[in-house]
Structure 1
Amino acid sequence: MDDEDTRDYKEPCPQCSEVNWGLTEESKFYCKSCHTVIEKTKEIDPIETYSLNSKVQSINRGLKRKRKDEKGWDWFVCEAFQFILQKQAEALQKLGVDARIKDDVICNLWRRYLQKNKVAYVKRKLGSLTDSESNASLSEPDSELEAFGLEDNSTGGEISATDRLGNHLQSESATSVCSGSVDGRLFVKENNPLKMSMPLTLAFCYLSLLWLRESITLSDLLRFVFNEHIPYMKAEQYIPDELKIHGPDIKIFQVQYLPEYSVITKKTFELGTFLDLPRFPPITENCYLHPNVLCMKYLMEANLPDELHVWTSRVANKLCLDDATYLTFDPLQERKKMVQYDVQSVALIIVVLKLLFVLDDHTEWTLAECASRSNKNKKGKMLFDYKEWYKTMKVTLDKSQRQLAEEKARFIWKSNRILYYSKNVKGVFTKRKQMARNLHQQFSNLAESAPDDGKQSPSSFLFNWEEENIDMTCFHGHSLEGIMQQNAKTKNSDYWLSSLKKCRTKICKHWTLYDESNFPRSYHFVLSLFCFMLRLELCIVHHEVCSIEYQLFNYKFKGLQKN
């Protein structure tokens, strides 16, 4: 065969001058006498070339089919959420939450959610029954969950990647070429008000924290989410690589905005009702979520006198806001909303400040002048000076607001994991992400400072006034005695309601809005301070202030003054 292929080539070998050529496997000429390989290659005619290319393409197609088998696991959307819930539970444990939150609380809530949605933990497979028989079967709980109770550890189990919902998981959909998950396309189209979502994962976490009566409020939870102490943003990076995310999955798991306080509150209540949970453990006076405890915490954080705590306790007691029956979460109660423990506590403080200082841009400054004159004599305990407190907190608030704005501006919403809507654009997305990463690094170098990737240590306190060598005045130990001496009674006659008009109907929602121009600047500053501490919109705390005032006004402020 070599003789036929090389007979037309008569050039002598450059090494031994012989004309005795053969062909290598790569179709290169070599000398049979001295085995020298030269650059000359066999010329292939077009028909033979077409045949060879067909074989190569056929081989390549075979390799692609092989890689297709290596694409990863066939997975369901609920499985990915299970991974995220697992990571969130582990993050809460690292923050010091009771270790039971993962295996005994969130795990049981998740199992019950899957059963209630008829996704898992049912008696028989959906495909083995008719529709009527299937519905009847699904209405009956699995024996494993028959006596479900969060205090019962018999159904406990680790939220584990190895679980993968096993034989319990059923689906009517087949693997879609447009989605990484088996049921992603159908999941997006599903019309279910309590469909699993990233905000609902936080509802699971908050519901679990309430059950354990942990010292983390909802505002703390959302702040930890923003600081990335709890997995939420960039959630796709917490899902194993074997679970390929593309197509409709991106819409399900990619987060592009911060979770809203009111949304998580509503979803938490709806989740507790949907799961038919029993009454939660009571919120008593020794619990962190009790208003007497939370008010003291926020008074310390806002650098206000400790003596104000006596007044917040009186108002809370007068309105029965400290009653365990009112405070304890009961999903089956007639009241169709949850107690917003942190919002209610700061609203109590604001109402007390209005009772004592009025906050009408006149009375508080007059009282401050009296306190300032008394403090100059330096006799006895320092009196609380509202003006000095305002100047101290204004500097602190402005600085913290600038820092927060810079953090939000620097925040990178997308993770390093490549998400693409189809396999055809994977290369384009990869290239764009690499370009963005390079540009980010170049701008950091131009600024002569790399961005700080270190996370701030988690803390329930945004402001801490007990640190050593603090260069600002701490007002915790200052006295309110001067105010009480100036006023034989509190300024009840000067008190003004925070709402411009009292609502006469439950349909009207005008008092949930807040317009700065309609209120004194002192009130706006105090409201802004506490809203920043909770990272909430002004209208949320303002609404709670209005609610407390309307309840308190019915008592005409009687009984609040010390006898």
Structure 2
Amino acid sequence: MDEDLTEGYSEPCGQCGNVCWGLTDAEQFFCKNCHNVIERTKDVVDSSTYSANNRISHFPSGTRKRNGRGGRKWIVCEGFQFILKHQAEALVGLGVCPEFKKKVLWNFWMRYLQKTRQAYTKNPRITNGSPGDITSDSEPESLALNESSEASLPNRVSSALEDSGNTSDGKLSVCSGSLDAAYYSFAKESKSRHLMTMPRTLALCHLALLWMREAITLADLLRLVSKRHVPYINVHEHFPEEMKIFGKDCKFFIAESIPSYRMVHREASLLAKVMELPTFPPVSQDCLLHPALLCLRYTMDANLPDELHLLVCKVMEKTAMGNDFFLTFDPAGPKQRLPCYDLQAAALIIVTMKLLFKLDDQTEWMLSRKADKRREKHHMKKKTTTGSKMFSLRRWYMSVQPALESAREREEQAEARQAWKSKKPVVPNLKNKTLVLKRRRVVEQLQSNFHTLTGSTMEQQPPAPSSFLFLWGTEEGADGPSLHHKRLAFLMEKKGRARCLVNRKYWHPALRLCHPRECREHFLELESSLPRMYVWLLGLFSFLLGVSQAQLHGEVIQVERRLLRGKGMR
């Protein structure tokens, strides 16, 4: 096909000397051997004139005049607004209440624009694509928090820049990008004005989900993003054609990695204070964000006995982590921090496991041998009593460890197969345009050849989202036998009228309070001295939540501080 279009042009390539020309998407000639792009273009017949041989041979090497066809004026906020719209639609498609997009997230977004004085205010900070000259602070206009505010997503925000332009002839340049990219490029301005970033789009969605008391925790949200159920990676590919990304826009909208749990949580806490949000609705006992229900979910996913949940609830009562004051988030409150409901639930389970088995690399195996002997004794007597249903931590470890390793391998393989680079090339500047397009063609050709050789498909649909990572039972494809029905009665003993734990001792690292600004995570310093079983348990739940072991260890320390000191601080 290219031979027919390039017929008649037999000049050798200036780099390799071969005569093997093809056409790019922009109808420019390029060498198929070395991928060198020249300025010659395809012959074009102009039907608007009477001359049949009128054609364009090449573009002049001087300054090219830009026109406004195919683009329109837009600002950075519109790009982030478009991203938030698609993220909200994806979450609603996954089962979130439709009011999440129309009433909560949209109102949060308008409030953010107003508080940062980017829109919905009499005196915006951005005017004509640059920081405005602000001489006096004006009172912001009242927000119209209703469904009609969402009628036109792009047009409401860009009113401040409606009369601005960036070309000498009054027309918008197709490759000029956003109008206020220069303002967003200043790191000092971006930090002081709390301008929007890609991680902050997820933080805003997380705050809206918490306000709606949806069952999607921050760990679930990041996992949905990693599985491409929620758009984030290369979401700029879905921008409308009239919104051209060019130059400095690349570092605003191109995301080729997923932010960490800690980063999104920190950004969410900051946004809640910047927006001056009121106290969040309380998390009641029937809410799926309550620690009691989250602990039940994580014990099922970790294949732990159902009886463990009762003991976890007792630990939750002792630490007062189920109280409304502890679970309710007030951004304006003193010493208040955004609760990590999922991390706190996992920490409660780990502390309960330490209370039952001590997890010092000795006591838990001694109790496992004790349970195995009782089970063998009852098996020999052919009795189906509670002895045959006793929970053995050793058997639990032997069933969960292979499943955990397989799940980690699947995660690594899935991550390796993901396309992190954008399929739609974005030109950072006109000087590098030829190089960017050449690299994109080489990558596409190599990918096509690789998939042809391996016989694999280039596009793979992501698996259906699930709240559980493991499947326990006798079904086909299960990760192992279910231990939910096992009993923990042998770990309790009667002492008078009360029932006490067989394990009488509890170990913990130093629980001293550190200065928030000077304290650093001590897990890396303590990791070599901590019991291996405890570190393995941290690894299990950190994999379930997609967080680091150090961060989960810090939450365990917070629970232990509240448990052992009676009254703890949030």
Instruction: Calculate the TM-score normalised by the size of structure 2.
Output: 0.79
Q: Does 1:187 align with 2:184?
A: yes
Question: In structure 2, do the counterparts of structure 1 residues 504 and 57 end up closer, same or farther at CA, with 3 Å as the change threshold?
Answer: closer
SS of the aligned residue for 2:119 comes to coil
Q: Higher mean Cα deviation, 440-449 or 538-547?
A: 440-449
Residue of structure 2 equivalent to 1:7: none
The Cα shift of 1:115 comes to 1.4
Aligned counterparts of 1:265 and 1:482: Cα–Cα separation in 2:
41
Which residue type is aligned with residue 150 of structure 2?
E
SS of the aligned residue for 2:224 comes to helix
8 Å Cα contact 2:294/2:342 also seen in 1: yes
Which residue type is aligned with residue 561 of structure 2?
Y
Q: Does 1:523 align with 2:534?
A: yes
Please give the residue correspondences for 1:232-243 in structure 2 after superposition, counting only pairs within 5 Å: 232-243=232-243
Q: Does 1:323 align with 2:323?
A: yes
Q: Deviations over 1:257-302 (max 9, x none)?
A: 2211111111111111111111111101111111001000100010
The Cα shift of 1:156 comes to 5.1
Residue of structure 2 equivalent to 1:380: 385
Which residue type is aligned with residue 90 of structure 1?
E
Q: Does 1:108 align with 2:122?
A: no
The Cα shift of 1:510 comes to 4.6
The Cα shift of 1:435 comes to 1.3
Aligned alpha-carbon RMSD (Å) = 3.1
- How many residue pairs are counted as aligned between the two chains? 491
Q: Does 1:140 align with 2:139?
A: yes
Aligned counterparts of 1:159 and 1:207: Cα–Cα separation in 2:
23
Aligned counterparts of 2:343 and 2:148: Cα–Cα separation in 1:
33
Question: In structure 2, do the counterparts of structure 1 residues 522 and 156 end up closer, same or farther at CA, with 3 Å as the change threshold?
Answer: farther
The Cα shift of 1:109 comes to 1.0
Q: Higher mean Cα deviation, 545-554 or 345-354?
A: 545-554
8 Å Cα contact 2:403/2:479 also seen in 1: no
The Cα shift of 1:505 comes to 4.7
Which residue type is aligned with residue 338 of structure 1?
L
The Cα shift of 1:477 comes to 1.1
The Cα shift of 1:239 comes to 1.6
Q: Does 1:88 align with 2:95?
A: no
Question: In structure 2, do the counterparts of structure 1 residues 125 and 200 end up closer, same or farther at CA, with 3 Å as the change threshold?
Answer: closer
Q: Higher mean Cα deviation, 115-124 or 81-90?
A: 115-124
Match of 1:403 among 383, 399, 410: 410
Match of 2:561 among 536, 550, 554: 550
Please give the residue correspondences for 1:206-245 in structure 2 after superposition, counting only pairs within 5 Å: 206-245=206-245
Aligned counterparts of 2:253 and 2:133: Cα–Cα separation in 1:
34
Residue of structure 2 equivalent to 1:158: 150
Q: Deviations over 1:474-524 (max 9, x none)?
A: 011110012224996325643110x35634555552554335322111111
Which residue type is aligned with residue 92 of structure 1?
L
8 Å Cα contact 1:347/1:548 also seen in 2: yes
Residue of structure 1 equivalent to 2:159: 167
Which residue type is aligned with residue 492 of structure 2?
M
Aligned counterparts of 2:159 and 2:354: Cα–Cα separation in 1:
61
Gaps of 5+ in 2: 1-53
Gaps of 5+ in 1: 1-54, 146-152, 557-563
Residue of structure 2 equivalent to 1:513: 523
Aligned counterparts of 1:334 and 1:125: Cα–Cα separation in 2:
30
The Cα shift of 1:135 comes to 5.5
Aligned counterparts of 1:285 and 1:198: Cα–Cα separation in 2:
33
Please give the residue correspondences for 1:190-339 in structure 2 after superposition, counting only pairs within 5 Å: 190-191=187-188, 192-193=190-191, 194-339=194-339
Residue of structure 2 equivalent to 1:120: 119
Aligned counterparts of 1:215 and 1:553: Cα–Cα separation in 2:
30
Aligned counterparts of 2:165 and 2:365: Cα–Cα separation in 1:
69
Aligned counterparts of 2:123 and 2:218: Cα–Cα separation in 1:
39
Aligned counterparts of 1:132 and 1:84: Cα–Cα separation in 2:
26
Q: Higher mean Cα deviation, 246-255 or 402-411?
A: 402-411
Question: In structure 2, do the counterparts of structure 1 residues 527 and 451 end up closer, same or farther at CA, with 3 Å as the change threshold?
Answer: farther
Q: Does 1:438 align with 2:445?
A: yes
The Cα shift of 1:436 comes to 0.7
8 Å Cα contact 2:329/2:336 also seen in 1: no
8 Å Cα contact 1:125/1:170 also seen in 2: no
Residue of structure 2 equivalent to 1:367: 367
Aligned counterparts of 1:348 and 1:254: Cα–Cα separation in 2:
38
Q: Higher mean Cα deviation, 108-117 or 67-76?
A: 67-76
Residue of structure 1 equivalent to 2:46: none
Aligned counterparts of 1:286 and 1:141: Cα–Cα separation in 2:
38
Question: In structure 2, do the counterparts of structure 1 residues 551 and 269 end up closer, same or farther at CA, with 3 Å as the change threshold?
Answer: same
Q: Does 1:455 align with 2:462?
A: yes
8 Å Cα contact 2:100/2:208 also seen in 1: yes
The Cα shift of 1:374 comes to 2.2
The Cα shift of 1:324 comes to 1.2
8 Å Cα contact 1:247/1:421 also seen in 2: yes
The Cα shift of 1:441 comes to 2.4
SS of the aligned residue for 1:163 comes to helix
Residue of structure 1 equivalent to 2:551: 540
Aligned counterparts of 2:99 and 2:271: Cα–Cα separation in 1:
20
8 Å Cα contact 1:91/1:231 also seen in 2: yes
Question: In structure 2, do the counterparts of structure 1 residues 299 and 326 end up closer, same or farther at CA, with 3 Å as the change threshold?
Answer: same
Residue of structure 2 equivalent to 1:32: none
Question: In structure 2, do the counterparts of structure 1 residues 312 and 139 end up closer, same or farther at CA, with 3 Å as the change threshold?
Answer: farther
Question: In structure 2, do the counterparts of structure 1 residues 225 and 184 end up closer, same or farther at CA, with 3 Å as the change threshold?
Answer: same
Please give the residue correspondences for 1:457-476 in structure 2 after superposition, counting only pairs within 5 Å: 457-465=464-472, 468-469=475-476, 470=478, 472-476=480-484
Q: Rg: which structure is higher?
A: 1
Aligned counterparts of 2:564 and 2:375: Cα–Cα separation in 1:
34
Aligned counterparts of 1:143 and 1:157: Cα–Cα separation in 2:
13
Q: Deviations over 1:313-370 (max 9, x none)?
A: 1111111110112111211111242111000000000000000001111111111112
Which residue type is aligned with residue 158 of structure 1?
E
Residue of structure 1 equivalent to 2:69: 70
The Cα shift of 1:169 comes to 4.8
Instruction: Calculate the TM-score normalised by the size of structure 1.
Output: 0.80
Question: In structure 2, do the counterparts of structure 1 residues 392 and 283 end up closer, same or farther at CA, with 3 Å as the change threshold?
Answer: same
Residue of structure 1 equivalent to 2:13: none
Aligned counterparts of 2:163 and 2:390: Cα–Cα separation in 1:
69
Question: In structure 2, do the counterparts of structure 1 residues 162 and 510 end up closer, same or farther at CA, with 3 Å as the change threshold?
Answer: closer
Which residue type is aligned with residue 375 of structure 2?
N
